[in-house]
Structure formats: structure tokens, C-alpha cells
Amino acid sequence: MRVVADIPHPEIKITLLAWNGKYLIKLELGPFEQTYKVSEMEVTGGDEEVKKWLDEPFLQSSIELFLAMRKNLYATRIRHEY
């Protein structure tokens, strides 16, 4: 696995990786992680094209997913505490 880029963002850690014929967009916030895999064959503009996908609407939706993940984990922990 090769790190293509670390992309700065004030709220989340963003890493673009290349591995096994795929680009991996890895987003991290606290203990949570989201990974998006895209075949290199689907990307005509290489890693620069993938970087353009990381626009504000995509990142805002990803942050909302992180919040939903946290809520989901919290809810299951509450359900199973005795």
C-alpha cells in the first residue's frame, strides 16, 4: 500500500492511498474510519482527479456519516449495559 497524499483538513484526517489497482480514500475522525475504494481503471485523471472529488459537499456528508456512526455505537452500548 502506497500513500499518494495526505490532504489537510481542519476536522478530519484524509489520506489518499494506492493499492492493488485501486485508489483508497481514507477518512478518519477520532476512533471512526471511512474508506472508499475506486478502481484505477475508472479514474482517467489519476490521483489529481480523485483529489478533486474531495469537495465540500462530499466532506460534509462524510462528517455527517461520522456523527451517525458515533450515534449508532453509543446507542448499541446503551442497549447492552446492565
pTM, to two decimals: 0.91
* Cα distance between residue 21 and residue 72, in whole Å: 32
Q: What is the pLDDT of residues 12-71, one digit of tens each?
A: 999 999 999 999 999 999 999 999 999 999 999 999 999 999 999 999 999 999 999 999
How much is the pLDDT for 26? 98
Give SS3 for 31.
coil
Confidence band, pLDDT 50/70/90 cuts, at residue 82? low
Residues 64-79: what's their mean pLDDT?
Answer: 97
Q: What is the pLDDT of residues 4-22, one digit of tens each?
A: 999 999 999 999 999 999 9
Helical H runs in the chain?
46-52, 56-79
